[in-house]
Amino acid sequence: MYRSRVDLALAIREKVIPLLQSRLADAVDLFTQIKQAHWNVKGPSFIALHELFDKIAEIVEEHSDLLAERITALGGRADGTTRIAAGQSSLTEYPLDITDGMQHAAAVADRLADFGKSVRAAIDRAAELGDADTADVFTEISRAIDKQLWFVEAHLQAGH
Ligand SMILES: [Fe+2]
């Protein structure tokens, strides 16, 4: 931990930083997984999904920045390399053998939902720990992920 003038107790920061670090690893992992979908999707919805996945990857990349910079604002060190993320991520690896647009939409939706779930849990945990600002970071991310999940699920929900 770096010394900081921030007025949150060290004991709080020491608990909040690992919470942020876990979700940072997920976000870095998720970014590359959604790029995988962006590059490899095929089928009649190609252009819609290709562009949607790129947009979501961009949003998730911004989220990794938000998480990492909250860690550094609290005096921590943000560990966000791809190799670190691969070791720490809670997400399952992206299926490499799928091609069809709906398979990719389902795979991306599954991972957005998993990420969204752990980010939502982190909102309450950060609030319990007494760090409303970190809870706000998680809330912002959670809200955006719910919205992108809707955009992806809209491709899967026709006729259901
Ligand atoms: Fe691209």
Residues 67-78: b if buried by 16+ CB within 10 A, e if exposed: bbebbebbbbeb
Query: What's the gap in Å between 124 CA and the centre of ligand 1?
Result: 35
Which residues, other chains included, contact 4 with Cβ-Cβ below 8 Å and sequence gap of 6+? 13, 74, 75
For residues 48 and 52, what is the distance between their CA atoms, to the nearest angstrom?
6
Query: What's the gap in Å between 79 CA and the centre of ligand 1?
Result: 26
The two tokens of residue 155 are 């491709």
Which helix (H) or strand (E) segment holds residue 17: the answer is helix 10-40
pTM of the predicted model, to two decimals? 0.96
- Neighbour-count burial of 47, counting CB atoms closer than 10 A to its CB (0-12 exposed, 13-18 middle, 19+ buried): exposed
Average predicted confidence (pLDDT) for the chain: 97
For residues 37 and 32, what is the distance between their CA atoms, to the nearest angstrom?
9
3-state secondary structure of 1: coil
Query: What's the gap in Å between 39 CA and the centre of ligand 1?
Result: 7
The pLDDT-based confidence of 27 (bands split at 50, 70, 90) is: very high
For residues 17 and 94, what is the distance between their CA atoms, to the nearest angstrom?
27
The pLDDT-based confidence of 3 (bands split at 50, 70, 90) is: confident
Question: 160 pLDDT exceeds 80?
Answer: no
Query: What's the gap in Å between 147 CA and the centre of ligand 1?
Result: 21
